[in-house]
Amino acid sequence: MTTHHLTTAPTEDLDHDGDQFDLEDRNALRRVAGLSTELSDISEVEYRQLRLERVILASVWTTGSEADADNAMAELRLLAETAGSQVLEGVVQRRSTPDPATYIGRGKVAELREVVVATGADTVICDGELTPAQLRNLEDRVKVKVIDRTALILDIFAQHAKSAEGKAQVELAQLQYLKQRLRGWGGNLSRQAGGRTAGGAGIGGRGPGETKIETDRRRIHSRIAKLKAELRALDVTRETKRAGRQRHRIPSVAIVGYTNAGKSSLLNRLTGAGVLVEDALFATLDPTTRRTETADGRVYTLTDTVGFVRHLPHDLVEAFASTLEESALADLLVHVVDASDPDPAGQISAVREVLHDIDAGSLPELIVFNKIDRVDDDVLTTLRTRYPDAAMVSARTGAGIDALRDRVEHLLPRPEVEVTALVPYERGDLIDRIHRDGEFLGSEHIAEGTRVVARVHPDLAAELEPYLA
C-alpha cells in the first residue's frame, strides 16, 4: 500500500475576470472545519449528508502506469478539497480488479483502519463508484463514513448550483444515486411501519405492512417524479431562447472541456462576460451564453458549459441532459484543454467520451490548449507536434486570444447563398439584416441605393430577390 502526502495548489489573481461578486459569496459559504453535517436524529429518509472535514483518499490502481495512478489520486485530492475537505493522506493499492466485497481487498482494510485511527480522519473517499455492498462492508470495518467518487462529485455540484434549474438537476441526480443505497443506522430502515404500541402495530399497521426503507424509497421516487416535471417546465424557457437564435440563423459556439481547464476565463476574455471564475473543479454549473461579433459584423453566440471529468457519473449526465444539449446543438465546439495538466490526452479522451454520450461527437471541433503561460517550451513543442491544428492561448495573460478569435470566425458556418443586389436606401432594414445574419463580400453606395455582394441564408435571399442585379 502506497501512502501519498498531498499539498494544496496556490490561488491566482483574477483581475481580468471582473469583480467576481459571486465568487466572494461562494467563499463566504465554505464549510467550517470541525462542524459536522451529520444529522443527530436520523428518523426520516437518511440522505447521507456528507461529513467532509478530515479525509483519507483510497484508490485501486488496476491499469496504466504509476504516473497515471498518481494523476488519478491528484484529481481525487482536488475534488475532495473543492468539496471543502482537509485531505490528510492517500492510499493506493495495486490490484487487477477492485475487491467485490470491500473495494480495496480484505487484507488492506485493517491497514486503512489503522491510518484512519492514527490521523483522526472522519471520512474515507474511494476513487470509484462503490456498490451498496462494498459501501456497507467498508464502512462497517473502518468505522467512519465512507463515500465514493460519485457521491463526492454530487456534493460539489450541490454546493455550486445557483439557478433553480441547476439545483433541481443536482437533487435529481443525488436522489437517483441514493435510492439504491438507502441504509439506516442499526437497521432502523428495515423495521415495519406501525403505530405507537410496543409491537409496532396499530390501525393500518398490523400484518406484514411496509418497512421503513420501503416508505423512504417510495418518497424518493415521488420526489424524483416531481423534479423531472419541474425540469421539463424549466426547459421550455431554454428551448424558447434556443429557437429564437435558430430562427435568426445565429451561429452558436459551445466552449467545452475538462473541469477547471479555463473555459469561463476564456469566455470572459473573448466577450467580457464577467462570469464566475474559480480555481476549483466544477465552478460552473449553469451555462452562460453571450453574443459577440466577428470582425466583419456577423453575430454569433458563445456558451460556457458544465465541465467534464473522467468517469462522470451517469446520473449527472442524465440529469443535466437539457444543459448539455447546448453543446450538442452547437455549430462549433471550442474544446479547451489545460496545457499544464500532466495528462492532456487523457482530458481530451474523457471529454470526447461524454460528447459522444450526448450525441455531440461528430460536431466540428477546435482544440484550444489554455494556460500556456504555466508550461515550458518543450511541453508546447510536444503539444504542437501531436495536435498541429490546435490553438495555443493563455486566458490569464491574453496570449494567443486574437489568433483564436480569428480561427473561430473562420470556422463558423457561412451563409449558403451568394447574391449581388442593388438595395434602395429606403430598405435599410435589409442592409441591417445582412450585417447581422449574413456576410458582406463588398458594398458600394451609388445614387440608386447600395450595391452589395454578400452571402446570406435562403430566406433573406428570397427577400432580396426583387433587387438582384
Task: Provide the pLDDT for residue 201.
Answer: 44
As a whole number, mean pLDDT of residues 368-396 equals 93
Q: Which residue has the higher pLDDT, 138 or 201?
A: 138
Rounded CA-CA distance 28/25 in Å is 5
As a whole number, mean pLDDT of residues 19-39 equals 46
pTM: 0.72
Q: Is residue 323 within 8 Å of residue 231, measured between CB atoms?
A: no
Rounded CA-CA distance 141/109 in Å is 7
Within 8 A by CB and 6+ apart from 295, the residues are 406, 409
Task: Provide the pLDDT for residue 245.
Answer: 61
DSSP helix/strand/coil, 145: strand
Task: Provide the pLDDT for residue 339.
Answer: 94
Name the amino acid, one letter, at 398. Answer: G
Instruction: Look at 147-151, 316-320, 425-429 and tell me which has the smallest mean pLDDT.
Output: 316-320
Q: Is residue 460 within 8 Å of residue 418, measured between CB atoms?
A: no
Q: Which residue has the higher pLDDT, 342 or 44?
A: 342
Q: For residue 246, name the pLDDT band (cuts at 50, 70, 90).
A: low
Task: Provide the pLDDT for residue 315.
Answer: 75
As a whole number, mean pLDDT of residues 34-59 equals 53
Q: For residue 381, name the pLDDT band (cuts at 50, 70, 90).
A: very high
Does position 47 have pLDDT exceeding 70, yes or no? Answer: no
As a whole number, mean pLDDT of residues 340-353 equals 90
Task: Provide the pLDDT for residue 113.
Answer: 92
Q: Is residue 287 within 8 Å of residue 304, measured between CB atoms?
A: yes
Instruction: Look at 35-39, 270-274, 348-352, 455-459 and tell me which has the smallest mean pLDDT.
Output: 35-39
What DSSP state is assigned to residue 211? B
Q: For residue 311, name the pLDDT band (cuts at 50, 70, 90).
A: confident
Does position 197 have pLDDT exceeding 70, yes or no? Answer: no
Q: Which residue has the higher pLDDT, 329 or 29?
A: 329
CA gyration radius for the chain?
27
pLDDT digits (tens, 9 = 90+) for 328-338: 888 899 999 99
As a whole number, mean pLDDT of residues 183-198 equals 45
Does position 366 have pLDDT exceeding 90, yes or no? Answer: yes
CA-wise closest residue to 327 among 309, 307, 345, 305: 305
Task: Provide the pLDDT for residue 205.
Answer: 46
* Residue 432 burial (10 A CB sphere; 0-12, 13-18, 19+): exposed
Rounded CA-CA distance 37/192 in Å is 28
Task: Provide the pLDDT for residue 58.
Answer: 92
Q: For residue 461, name the pLDDT band (cuts at 50, 70, 90).
A: confident
Q: Which residue has the higher pLDDT, 250 or 198?
A: 250
Q: Which residue has the higher pLDDT, 233 or 339?
A: 339
Task: Provide the pLDDT for residue 42.
Answer: 37
As a whole number, mean pLDDT of residues 441-446 equals 87
Task: Provide the pLDDT for residue 262.
Answer: 86
Instruction: Look at 115-129, 145-159, 186-200 and tell me which has the smallest mean pLDDT.
Output: 186-200
Percent of the chain with pLDDT over 90: 19
pLDDT digits (tens, 9 = 90+) for 256-301: 988 888 888 888 888 875 555 555 566 556 677 888 888 877 788 8
Percent of the chain with pLDDT over 70: 77
As a whole number, mean pLDDT of residues 178-184 equals 72
C-alpha cell at 213: 426503507
Task: Provide the pLDDT for residue 23.
Answer: 56
Rounded CA-CA distance 443/371 in Å is 41
C-alpha cell at 465: 430577390
pLDDT digits (tens, 9 = 90+) for 394-429: 988 889 999 999 999 889 887 778 889 999 999 888
